[in-house]
Amino acid sequence: MAGGLPRRIIKETQRLMAEPVPGIKAVPDEGNARYFHVIVEGPAESPFEGGTFKLELFLPEEYPMSAPKVRFMTKIYHPNIDKLGRICLDILKDKWSPALQIRTVLLSIQALLSAPNPDDPLENDVAEQWKVNEAQAIATAKQWTKMYATRG
Amino acid sequence: MEIDDDLLANSDAGTEDDDEFVELAPEQTSAMDGMDPEEFPYDVLALEQVVTLMVDIIKEVRNVVEIPATTTRILLNHFKWDKEKLIETYYESDPDRIFADAHLISPSRKVAIACSKREIKPRYSVKENGEYVCEICYASVPEQLMSGLECGHRFCISCWTHYLTTKIMDEGMGQTISCAAHNCDILVDDETVMKLLSDSHVKLKYQHLITNSFVECNRLLRWCPTPDCGHVIKGQYVSDKPVTCRCGHTFCFACGQNWHDPVKCSILRKWIKKCDDDSETSNWIAANTKECPKCRSIIEKDGGCNHMVCKKCRFDFCWVCLGPWEPHGSSWYNCNRYDEDEAKRARSAQEKSRAALQRYLFYCNRYMNHMQSLKLENKLYASVRDKMEEMQKHNMSWIEVQFLKKAVDVLCQCRQTLMHTYVFAFYLRKNNQSIIFETNQRDLEQATEQLSEYLEREITQEVLRDIKQKVQDKSRYCESRRNVLLKHVHEGYENELWEYLDNI
Ligand SMILES: [Zn+2]
Ligand SMILES: [Zn+2]
Ligand SMILES: [Zn+2]
Ligand SMILES: [Zn+2]
Ligand SMILES: [Zn+2]
Ligand SMILES: [Zn+2]
């Protein structure tokens, strides 16, 4: 497969550029068509509202048989996202299906920001806080959003 | 990979090639030369035969419960292939519960879901020119190249093949591969998998994966441990007896380890664990180079024979104990016996633990050494084959030269036995019988080293006809010593004469 980019990736990229997902920007890297620079806006009425979160997304050689690799670059206080920005999301792991797309992955990540799931945690301390004292956890998440995800 | 091709082509694997006069693969029929009075009854099954066996059980159950074959297979797995228990539970409790417990959708519900979903939403998009667009590769393909299951999701055949291959080869999934669509729980049935796959390696791996739990759950079935062999031994009952696979490998039916007479499975398991925990020591012992005890030059061991001659100073020494070789050929040979005196003198805790380590190193060294030699005897098969060809050129018949191969077989059997005698001895408490055992062990070891030396060195120098008698005599002697040793240990088991050290 050296050099040639599968039709699937070309078409997906074209569509992603033509009809972008609201609140999400995904741009392929100039040097590597499998690497995307992603910016997700914090969803309204979530503790992440007002923040812009940078992510990286990479399509491995086996894509779409294997899931894309996605990681938050911006620090975020979330029970399903760890210190290194790795995301605990079923469709990125065992629930991946080759019929899913970059678009559906990004939408799911946006949904995860709207509805954190402390029962399936990746970052245990954060999840604990979220369960024991949700108000405090939300306050911290807001604070982090202001500190790390707001420009200027 | 010849074995794989044989399996799939259903060819007569195991029959010998007529042109091959010097057949050096280990014997395919005899187990350990009929040591046991009663033969242990077993069959060697090829993968297809295992699949057939499994399919027969599935059929039997399906006749009673009437559910799809793949579902039955998964359900049987859930019940560890106890078909009576499955059928009983199926009728005595709620079938839907059983399906849920086995992470299956009840077949009746499955059809219902599929129908309702299909009505709500078309499961694939149609192009104007009558071709379909595959949602995985985005290619448009004619209808006959699309495929799918009862859920209605359709993808192109090449994507299906790619999908199944990834699941099987990369993720090692076989039991439960579901439809490629997101959130679709419908399982791909075995027949569809086999139809969509073309690569024989992937097919074989799939068969292996689905039969694996069948074999693993079944006490009377055991995989041959040889990598990529794929044969299964079917015993009539469970027993620690040697079985020989079609690939030539002989192993213990009860535990799967290389045949380990005279030591018992449980003791061997303990020993292997100890060696694993202490792998640094073991690796160090198994190293292939040592210093000459006299001139310190580096000596490399390239054969199984333990009689070493330093190339530089010509010193004759024993590879195992690094002592002079001379006494190894005489009656005051003592290389196999651990000297307990030092351990008895040990007073302080530190001295005691040092003595315990010394003792372990002594046995581990000898165990590892025979194992290493056994591996190196493979080289001997090659050199013996050359010799046999040479002899045939000198007017000896094929049958007349077979004694050489037979001698190497005997040598290997003796090394394998000796190797395990050190495991046995390590755990053995000293008593009158253990002293007899050590004497037997010494005699066998001495004879084995002599046979090894004949086959490795002298064979190249001697006149062809003369060596035959020598090698034959020595290998018969080795065999008899081996039988004496094994018989003694077996009698000890029967009469409960062996006492084990339990604090190690
Ligand atoms: Zn396709
Ligand atoms: Zn489906
Ligand atoms: Zn085998
Ligand atoms: Zn065993
Ligand atoms: Zn030397
Ligand atoms: Zn020695």
Nearest to B416, CA basis, from B296, B270, B258: B258
Q: Which residue has the tokens 């807001």?
A: A142
Q: Do A98 and B170 touch (CB under 8 A)?
A: no
* Nearest CA-CA partner of B447 in B482, B403, B488, B486: B482
* Contact flag A99-B137 (C-beta cutoff 8 Å): no
Q: Which residues of B touch A64 (CB under 8 A)?
A: 136
pLDDT at residue number B347: 74
User: What are the distances in angstroms from CA B100 to CA B78, B186, B341?
Assistant: 11, 14, 65
Residue B241's pLDDT is: 94
| pLDDT score for B34 | 41
A2 in contact with B, Cβ within 8 Å: no
Active site residues of A: 88
Residue B376 is predicted with a pLDDT of 87
| Shortest distance, CA B340 to any CA of chain A (angstroms) | 55
Segment (H or E) for B290: strand B289-291
Is residue B481 very low, low, confident or very high in pLDDT (cuts 50, 70, 90)?
Answer: very high
Cβ B125 vs Cβ B139: under 8 Å: no
Rg over alpha carbons for chain A, rounded to the nearest Å, is 16
User: For the residues A60-89, what does the mean pLDDT come to?
Assistant: 93
> Which of B243, B259, B244, B248 is CA-nearest to residue B25?
B248
pLDDT in tens, B125-184: 666 577 888 999 999 899 889 999 888 899 999 999 999 999 999 988 887 898 999 988
Cβ burial B34-43 (10 Å sphere, 16+ → b, else e): eeeeeeeebe
Q: How far apart are CA B259 and CA B31, in angstroms?
A: 10
Q: Does B170 touch chain A (CB under 8 A)?
A: yes
* Ligand 2 ion: Cβ-proximal residues, 5 Å cutoff: B 151, 153, 179, 181, 184, 186
Check whether A131 has a pLDDT greater than 80: yes
Q: Which residues pair with B318 in a beta bridge?
A: B307
Ligand nearest to the CA of B26: 3
CA separation for the pair B228, B412 (Å, rounded): 23
Whether residue A142 is predicted with pLDDT greater than 90 in this model: the reply is: yes
Residue to test with chain A: of B135, B162, B179, B184, most A Cβ within 10 A: B135
B135 and chain A: CB distance < 8 Å anywhere?
yes
DSSP B176: -
Q: Per DSSP, which regions of B245-306 are E strands?
A: 250-252, 289-291, 298-300
Flag the least confident range among B90-99, B171-180, B344-353: B344-353
Residue of B nearest to A64 (CA): B136
User: How far is B443 from B335, CA to CA, in rounded Å?
Assistant: 11
Question: Considering chain B, what is the average pLDDT of its residues?
Answer: 83
Dist CA A29 CA B407 (whole Å): 68
- To which H or E segment does residue B85 belong? helix B83-92
Of the candidates A8, A66, A97, the beta carbon closest to that of B138 is on A8
Q: How far apart are CA B481 and CA B449, in angstroms?
A: 13
Q: In this predicted structure, what is the pLDDT of residue A28?
A: 95
Domain ranges of chain A: 7-149
Q: Cis bond leading into B262, ω under 30°?
A: yes
The shortest C-alpha distance from B135 to chain A (Å) reads: 6
| B226 vs B113, more confident | B226
HEC assignment per residue over A45-59: CCCCCCCEEEEEEEC
Nearest Cα residue to A48 out of A75, A87, A20, A85: A75
Which residues, other chains included, contact B101 with Cβ-Cβ below 8 Å and sequence gap of 6+?
B78
Give B199's contacts (C-beta < 8 A, 6+ positions apart). Answer: B165
Torsion, Cα A125 A130 A131 A136, to 10 degrees, reads: 110
**Which residues fall inside 5 Å of ion ligand 6, going by CB?**
B 318, 320-321, 335
CATH class of A7-149: alpha beta
Q: Higher pLDDT residue, B129 or B455?
A: B455
* pLDDT, tens digit (0-9, with 9 covering 90-100), for B51-61: 899 989 999 99
| Rounded mean pLDDT, A69-77 | 95
Locate the chain A residue with the closest alpha carbon to B165.
A65
**pLDDT surpassing 70 at residue B120:** no
Cβ neighbours of residue B3 under 8 Å, at least 6 residues apart? B13, B228, B229, B230, B247
Residue A57: name the closest of A19, A26, A16 by CA.
A26
Q: Across the interface, do A8 and B135 touch by the CB < 8 Å criterion? A: no
**Percentage of residues of chain B with pLDDT beyond 70:** 85
State in Å: Cα B131 to ligand 1 middle: 12
Which structural domains are found in chain B, ordered by start?
Answer: 3-235 (3.30.40.10), 292-346 (no CATH), 357-494 (1.20.120.1750)
Partner-chain contact B136 A6, CB within 8 Å: no
Is residue B123 over pLDDT 60? no
pLDDT at B20: 36
Nearest chain A CA: its distance from B102 CA (Å): 18
pLDDT value at residue B129 = 74
For the segment B300-335, what is each residue's pLDDT rounded down to a tens digit? 887 778 888 888 888 888 888 888 888 887 766 778
- Least confident span in A80-84, A119-123, B135-139, B273-277: A119-123
- Taking the CA atoms of residue B319, residue B321, residue B322 and residue B323 in that order, the dihedral angle to the nearest 10 degrees is -120
The token pair that represents B309 in the structure block = 């001659």
Region B348-353: mean pLDDT is 79
ipTM reported for the complex, 2 dp: 0.84
Above 60 in pLDDT, residue A25? Answer: yes
pTM of the model: 0.65
Where residue B424 falls among pLDDT bands split at 50, 70, 90? very high
Question: According to the model, what pLDDT value does residue A4 have?
Answer: 74
A3-33: b (≥16 Cβ within 10 Å) or e = eeebebbeebbeebeeeeeebbbbebeeeee
> Does residue B251 sit in helix, strand or coil?
strand
How many angstroms separate the CA of residue B154 from the nearest CA in chain A?
10
The vertex-B453 CA angle with B452 and B456, nearest 5°, equals: 85
Residue B28: per-residue pLDDT: 39
- Tell which of A96, A97, A101, A103 to mutate to test the B interface (max B CBs under 10 Å): A97
Here the tokens at position B111 are 């059809």
Check: CB of residue A97 under 8 Å from CB of residue A52. no
Please tell me the predicted confidence (pLDDT) of residue A121. 74
The structure tokens listed for B401 are: 């030269």
- Whether the predicted pLDDT of B18 surpasses 50: no
Distant-in-sequence, close-in-space partners of B153: CB < 8 Å, separation ≥ 6? A99, B123, B124, B179, B180, B181, B184, B186
Q: How far is the C-alpha of B379 from the C-alpha of B374, rounded, in Å?
A: 10
Torsions phi, psi for B397 (to 5 deg): -80, 165
Q: Which of B214-218, B260-264, B440-444, B447-451 is the least confident region?
A: B214-218
What count of other Cβ atoms lies within 10 Å of the Cβ of residue B358? 14
pLDDT value for A144: 94
Record the tokens describing residue A75, joined without a space. 């620090």
| Chain A residue numbers touching B181 (CB-CB < 8 A) | 97, 99
Under 8 Å CB-to-CB from A11, ≥6 apart: which residues?
Answer: B138
Helix/strand/coil for B66: coil
Tell me what the mean pLDDT of segment B484-496 comes to: 96
